Amino acid sequence: MTKSPLVDFHCHLDLFPDYVRAFAECDRVGIEVFTMTTTPRAWLRNWELAEKHKHIRPGLGLHPQLIAERGSEIKLWEDLLPRAKFVGEVGLDAGPCYVKSFEDQKQVFQRILRACNEAGGRILSVHSIRSAKTVLDMIERWLPPQKGKIILHWFTGGRTEAKRAVQLGCFFSVNHQMLHNPKNREMIAEIPADRILTETDGPFTKLAGKPCTPMDVTEVLKGLGAIWKKPVEDVGTIVFRNMMGIDAMV
Ligand code: MN
């Protein structure tokens, strides 16, 4: 075990079969969690439950994969933003199943970035499947780093784009499945350690055939330890410090 508390800065606690129990378990262990919602409607019940939990931050989300059916919920999302410090899951997805709604996704994401810019002090977990360049273009245009902190979730945009994201002030949340790919490991090795966070994206990732829970971020710490050639405890300390830095910005 690491000495610093664990950090899972992108997961979906409300998509576990018993989400009330998932919240309670994270708080009992003392793991620091940024949990996503995929629609603003779901955020309300997550937010109410999180009020009773010290270590859980629920993100106000509108998932890019849901824009085709739920894009009109952007109005509700905007109404709720004054109450939400954390935003996610948001972003773009140009994968084969979702590319059809890409233009609508861009319109929604632009509204999200502009609203966060106006509100100030928000922390965003951003999805960028097959759309890293467009995501970075939009962040550069609509949300300067002093107005909001971007955490790129499961970023696979490659080394050039990762470098650009660092210049734009972005952070990166890394999960263990990403680390299976040597290209991703090379990319991560070039990102400054003070921009790295850990995530599971549970229940969507798996470990030993089972959906990952936030406690499985220990796997990511091991993977980062191999990249950085540091003991797992030191990696945990770095990630926890990075998380505290972001948390203090809002
Ligand atoms: Mn996710």
Centre of ligand 1 from the C-alpha of residue 52, in Å:
23
CA-CA distance, 184 to 155, in Å (whole number)?
Answer: 9
For residue range 78-114, what is the model confidence (pLDDT) as tens digits?
A: 999 999 999 999 999 999 999 999 999 999 999 999 9
Give 10-residue mean pLDDT values along the chain (250 residues): 86 97 96 98 96 96 98 98 98 98 98 98 98 98 96 96 98 97 97 98 96 98 98 98 91
Radius of gyration from C-alpha coordinates of the chain: 17
CA-CA distance, 94 to 170, in Å (whole number)?
Answer: 21
Centre of ligand 1 from the C-alpha of residue 36, in Å:
7
Q: At what angle do helices 40-50 and 19-29 cross, to 10 degrees?
A: 50
Ligand 1 (ion): residues with CB under 5 Å are 89, 201
Tokens in use for 154? 């499961």
CA-CA distance, 188 to 224, in Å (whole number)?
Answer: 9
What is the reported pLDDT for 3?
Answer: 84
What is the reported pLDDT for 222?
Answer: 98
What is the reported pLDDT for 249?
Answer: 81
* 89 contacts 61 by C-beta, under 8 angstroms: yes
For residue range 164-176, what is the model confidence (pLDDT) as tens digits?
A: 999 999 999 999 9
Centre of ligand 1 from the C-alpha of residue 39, in Å:
12
Nearest to 217 by CA among 204, 226, 207, 228: 207
Centre of ligand 1 from the C-alpha of residue 77, in Å:
18
Mean confidence (pLDDT) of the chain: 97
Centre of ligand 1 from the C-alpha of residue 37, in Å:
9
Centre of ligand 1 from the C-alpha of residue 67, in Å:
15
Tokens in use for 12? 């979906």
Centre of ligand 1 from the C-alpha of residue 53, in Å:
21
